[in-house]
Chain A
Amino acid sequence: MNALLAARGPDVPAAAGPIELEWFGAFYKQHANFVRRLVRRLDGQKSDSDDLVQEVFLVAHRKWPQLAGSPQVDPRSWLYGVAVRVLRHERRRRKLRAFLFFPSFGGERSPEERSREPRDEHSPATLLERHEARATVHRLLDSLSENKRTVFVLFEIEGLSGQQIAGILRVPIQTVWNRLFHARKAFLKVLAREQLRERRETGEE
């Protein structure tokens, strides 16, 4: 029995065999928002991010025996690893699709898609500020390479430790620190460039 899973959610089936859909459904409902947030942070606000969430759980269902057979693995850490690898595969497919001009190449969310998001009770000014912050951070993250972006998101935003990130990405910890160093440098560089452009546009320079 996976004690961590039992403590955090539905009882995990003891055997590492095919899992009951009902159980997996409860697992999905518990972690869906977490995976959605993670996918959007790692991949940006693309139109197919909801599809990617489904893909992550499809893969999780297939690879379920790995989690059931590893009592000490935290399910969220495991889901991090699944999501990172699904996204890596997806980026490769996008590269292929972009080259082959497949019609459904992922892009930014349309205004219609954004309008379907649930509204909340914050003031319009707060909402605008947060929306701008989100758009800015995603824009800055989009300028990073996949490796740098992943480490930056997992460390700075998700709050994982270097050791955890090394385990998820299956790289040495020194590689994690190297990538983080370069990611931070690149992030600041692009931030400075954006601010300079804004100042020029508003006539401050």
Chain B
Amino acid sequence: MPETGRWKDEPLDVAAGDNDRLRAQATELLKRFERAEEDEPWTPANITGRWSRLEREIQQQGRRKPSGEIWALSAACAGVAALGIVLVWSHQSASRLPPTARLTQSPPIARALVPSAPSPNPADVDVEPWTTWPRTDLGPNGTLWSKPGSVMRLPDSPTERSTEPREGYVMQLDQGSLCAEVASRALGSEGPFRVKTRQLDVTVIGTHFCVEAGPDLSSVSVQRGRVRVAREGVSVVLRAGESIRSDAPPLRAALPPPQRAWRDRPAPGNPVGAQDDAPEPLGSLSLENELYQRALQEARRENHPQAAGLLADYLKRFPNGLYAPEAGSELATELGLAGHPSAALAAARERLRSFPRDPHDGDVKLLMAGLLRENLGRTADALAVYEDLLNASAGPEWRAEALFGKGICEERLGDGAVARELWRRYQAEYPAGRHAAEVERLLGE
């Protein structure tokens, strides 16, 4: 479909026919709308006042983070260790590296990738962060930084697809290093974003990650989001802060026994679960995509019982699947929307138990607190969840909700003084927060 003209740029001649008349009216309406929108800008004084409030909020957020010196030191250490990788792999064959492969948890990418090589003397090395590598814009697929000298092949166009169905956007990395920022992938026809090395097949959804490839060894590390790393039909899911080498034990595990094919299963419209007890092998990403996408479609149509059933089915079949954390959160939400608060609470608890370090835990805890507070009448239990969020140094968006919600709980439990103190803290920390007007009203009562 070629570029089309905008309605508001069209002349106002009314042509024959209802459709043309309607289009002309829409055109006129949009022109008037555009003029109306220009009528009420913020004044400079208004903008300056708002900037002051935003500046305070940024500074408050900055105080809760490590200092600039610590970030600089961490970045320098990561850069030094990254150079160590280059020195080790350019002077040794990969097979001589000690078999220390394991799933690591340390956040800095470089430490996770260097097995046991001694750290180079920082004074002797020249740090080269990946952000200085040549950058390639992959269009809607994301952005790529590749180390000079890397041997890789990209699809010829941003929309080129593999000949195999649902293979998605596939890159090949034969030698060298790359880091990529990939947006959350729309599922269905687009398929996943993948990087293949000689040993590994990396499947990505919405994340920032790096891949190193050598003739006999590859490794992957994840800074943000999740990737699935597969080798010879066996796969693991890496989360933020995790990394793995191609000779790591999980990737050497034997294939699980074959399960019943998707097409032989009963239709997944039944309320809960598949027939088999054992989870499906993680080899069939297209099946996961399909089931999860169907669940999301039902959720968008606000068919909450159906969506909940599909999500429960997904979790039963793929308990460690690529979308399992999201599916767990969505299931709790859909059960709540379908009018089953107790089941929603149980689903939320299970989601937290299964994925304790997921970056979206705060959302799930807020959902639990809300269910307890508003639907189940368990104010004291809701208070405990809000306290847990505040004690765990939650991110600002959760902390704000937790402060406000805890105040509501304290008031209902009869401790008005504590409630007011919490709301005053909310006002001080989040002067432009979502509940600012409500807090002002509550404090004024």
**Which residues in A have some Cβ–Cβ distance to B below 8 Å?**
16, 18, 21, 24-25, 28-29, 32-33, 36-37, 40-41, 47-48, 50-51, 53-54, 57-58, 61, 65-66, 69-70, 95-97, 99-104, 117-118, 120, 122, 127, 129-131, 133-134, 136-137, 145, 155-157, 159, 161-162, 166-167, 169-172, 174-175, 177-178, 180-181, 184, 187-188, 191-192, 195
Contact = CB atoms under 8 A, between A and B. Distances in A.
Given A137-B30, A161-B3, A29 B48 contact: yes
B41 A41 contact: no
B151 interface: no
Q: Taking chain A's interface residues, is the majority helix, strand, or loop, or is none over half, making it mixed?
A: helix
Contact of B37 (A41, A97, A170): A41
A159 B6 contact: yes
B306 interface: no
Contacts of B310: none
A66 B18 CA distance: 48
B42 A96 contact: no
A61 B33 contact: no
Most buried by B among A32, A66, A169: A32
B374 A171 contact: no
Contacts of A97: 370
Q: Which 7 pairs from chain A and chain B are nearest by CB?
A: A100-B370, A130-B36, A133-B32, A177-B1, A170-B183, A134-B36, A137-B33
Contacts of A47: 437
Interface stretch (B50-58, B250-258, B281-289): B50-58
Interface residues of B, number: 73
Interface of B: 1, 3-4, 6-8, 18-19, 22-23, 25-26, 29-30, 32-37, 39-44, 47-48, 50-51, 53-55, 57-59, 61, 68, 71, 131, 135, 139-143, 158-159, 181, 183-184, 186, 190, 300, 333, 336-337, 363, 366-367, 370-371, 373-375, 408, 432-438
A156 B370 contact: no
A169 to B, nearest CB: 8
A54 B50 contact: yes
